[in-house]
Amino acid sequence: MQPGLCAFPLTPMRDESVDDAALATLVSRLVAGGVDSVGVLGSTGVCAYLSRDERRAAIDAAVSAAGEMPVIAGVGALRTRDVLTYVEDAQAAGASALLVAPVSYHRLRQEEVFGLYADVASSSSVPVVVYENPSTTAFTFTDELYARIAQLPSIAGVKIPPPAPGTAADRVAHLRELLPADATIGVSGDWAAAEALTSGCHAWYSVLAGLFPRTARALADAAAAGDADAAHQHSSTLDPIWSLFKEHGSLRVMAAAAEALGLVDAPCLPRPLLALDEHYRPAVEDALRRTGLI
Amino acid sequence: MQPGLCAFPLTPMRDESVDDAALATLVSRLVAGGVDSVGVLGSTGVCAYLSRDERRAAIDAAVSAAGEMPVIAGVGALRTRDVLTYVEDAQAAGASALLVAPVSYHRLRQEEVFGLYADVASSSSVPVVVYENPSTTAFTFTDELYARIAQLPSIAGVKIPPPAPGTAADRVAHLRELLPADATIGVSGDWAAAEALTSGCHAWYSVLAGLFPRTARALADAAAAGDADAAHQHSSTLDPIWSLFKEHGSLRVMAAAAEALGLVDAPCLPRPLLALDEHYRPAVEDALRRTGLI
Question: What is the fold, at CATH topology level, of the domain defined by A5-225?
Answer: TIM Barrel (3.20.20)
- The vertex-A218 CA angle with A214 and A223, nearest 5°, equals 145
Is A274 in Cβ contact with B109 (below 8 Å)?
A: yes
Mutation pick from B78, B247, B268 vs chain A, by most beta carbons of A within 10 Å, is: B78
Is A80 in Cβ contact with B270 (below 8 Å)?
A: yes
> Average pLDDT of chain A?
97
Give the pLDDT band of residue A16 (cuts 50, 70, 90).
very high
CATH superfamily of B5-227: Aldolase class I (3.20.20.70)
Give the pLDDT band of residue A13 (cuts 50, 70, 90).
very high
**H or E element at residue B6:** strand B5-7
Reported in sequence order, the residue ranges of B152-274 that DSSP labels E, i.e. its strands, are 155-160, 184-187, 203-206
Q: Are the CB atoms for B113 and A273 separated by under 8 Å?
A: no
SS3 B148: helix
Of B16, B105, B119, the CB nearest to A81: B16
**H or E element at residue B73:** strand B71-74
Q: Is the ipTM of this structure higher than 0.95?
A: yes
SS3 B291: coil
Reported in sequence order, the residue ranges of A58-195 that DSSP labels E, i.e. its strands, are 71-74, 97-100, 128-131, 155-160, 184-187
Question: Which pLDDT belongs to residue B275?
Answer: 85
Q: Are the CB atoms for B31 and B69 separated by under 8 Å?
A: yes
Write the CA distances from B290 to A130, B240, B260, integer angstroms.
42, 8, 15
Which residues of chain A are within 8 Å of residue B136 when distances are taken between CB atoms?
105-107
Reported in sequence order, the residue ranges of A8-96 that DSSP labels E, i.e. its strands, are 13-14, 17-18, 37-40, 71-74
Closest CA to B131 of B144, B119, B116: B116
Asked if A246 is an active-site residue, the reply is no
Question: Which pLDDT belongs to residue B278?
Answer: 84
Query: pLDDT tens-digit profile of B170-197?
Result: 999 999 999 999 999 999 999 999 999 9
Mutation pick from B41, B106, B140, B281 vs chain A, by most beta carbons of A within 10 Å, is: B106
Which residues of chain B are within 8 Å of residue A115 when distances are taken between CB atoms?
271-272, 274
Which residues of chain B are within 8 Å of residue A274 when distances are taken between CB atoms?
109, 111-112, 115
**Active-site residue among B86, B117, B131, B205?**
B131
Residues 6 or more apart whose CB falls under 8 angstroms from that of B164 comprise: none
Exposed/middle/buried for residue B14 (C-beta within 10 Å: 0-12, 13-18, 19+):
middle
Residues belonging to chain A with any Cβ–Cβ distance to chain B shorter than 8 Å: 16, 43, 46, 48-49, 78-81, 102-103, 105-109, 111-113, 115-116, 119, 135-138, 249, 251, 270-274, 277
Residues 6 or more apart whose CB falls under 8 angstroms from that of B52 comprise: B82, B85, B86, B89
Question: Which pLDDT belongs to residue A155?
Answer: 97
Picking from A11-25, A205-219, B78-92, B279-293, which range would have the lowest pLDDT averaged per residue? B279-293
Is B105 in Cβ contact with A136 (below 8 Å)?
A: yes
Q: Which residues of A92-107 are buried (b: 16+ CB within 10 A; e: fewer)?
A: ebbbbbbbbbbbbbbe
**Active-site residue among A86, A117, A146, A159?**
A159
Q: Are the CB atoms for B100 and B80 separated by under 8 Å?
A: no
Closest CA to A269 of A7, A12, A8, A49: A12
pLDDT > 90? residue A1: no
Mutation pick from A273, A276, A281 vs chain B, by most beta carbons of B within 10 Å, is: A273
Reported in sequence order, the residue ranges of B17-67 that DSSP labels E, i.e. its strands, are 17-18, 37-40
Q: Are the CB atoms for A2 and A35 separated by under 8 Å?
A: no
Reported in sequence order, the residue ranges of chain A that DSSP labels E, i.e. its strands, are 5-7, 13-14, 17-18, 37-40, 71-74, 97-100, 128-131, 155-160, 184-187, 203-206
Question: Which pLDDT belongs to residue B70?
Answer: 98
What does residue A96 show for φ and ψ, rounded to 5 degrees?
Answer: -85, -20
pLDDT > 90? residue A279: no
Is B80 in Cβ contact with A271 (below 8 Å)?
A: yes
> Average pLDDT of chain B?
97
Give B229 to chain A, closest Cα distance, Å.
33
Give the pLDDT band of residue B266 (cuts 50, 70, 90).
very high
Which residues of chain B are within 8 Å of residue A105 when distances are taken between CB atoms?
43, 48-49, 103, 136-137
pLDDT > 90? residue B277: no
Is B136 in Cβ contact with A78 (below 8 Å)?
A: no
Is A108 in Cβ contact with B136 (below 8 Å)?
A: no
Closest CA to B44 of B97, B86, B8: B8
What does residue A223 show for φ and ψ, rounded to 5 degrees?
Answer: -65, -45
Give the pLDDT band of residue A231 (cuts 50, 70, 90).
very high
- CA-nearest residue to B117 within chain A is A272
Query: pLDDT tens-digit profile of A96-155?
Result: 999 999 999 999 999 999 999 999 999 999 999 999 999 999 999 999 999 999 999 999
Asked if A131 is an active-site residue, the reply is yes
Question: Which pLDDT belongs to residue A137?
Answer: 97
Question: Which pLDDT belongs to residue A138?
Answer: 97
pLDDT > 80? residue B113: yes
Query: Rounded to whole angstroms, how far apart are CA atoms A175 and A147?
Result: 9
What type of residue is A215?
A: T
Domain range annotation of chain A:
5-225
Is A274 in Cβ contact with B43 (below 8 Å)?
A: no
Which residues of chain B are within 8 Å of residue A137 when distances are taken between CB atoms?
105
Q: What is the per-residue DSSP string for A262-281?
A: TSS-SS-SPTT-----TTTH
- CA-nearest residue to A16 within chain B is B81
Question: Which pLDDT belongs to residue A208?
Answer: 98
**Active-site residue among A86, A131, A146, A205?**
A131
pLDDT > 90? residue B1: no
**Active-site residue among B86, B117, B146, B159?**
B159
Query: Rounded to whole angstroms, how far apart are CA atoms B294 and B292?
Result: 5
Mean pLDDT of B143-155: 97
Of A80, A272, A273, the CB nearest to B271: A80
| B206: β partners | B7
B184 is in an annotated binding site: no
SS3 A129: strand
Of A102, A135, A272, the CB nearest to B115: A272
Of B107, B111, B116, the CB nearest to A135: B107
What type of residue is B250?
A: S
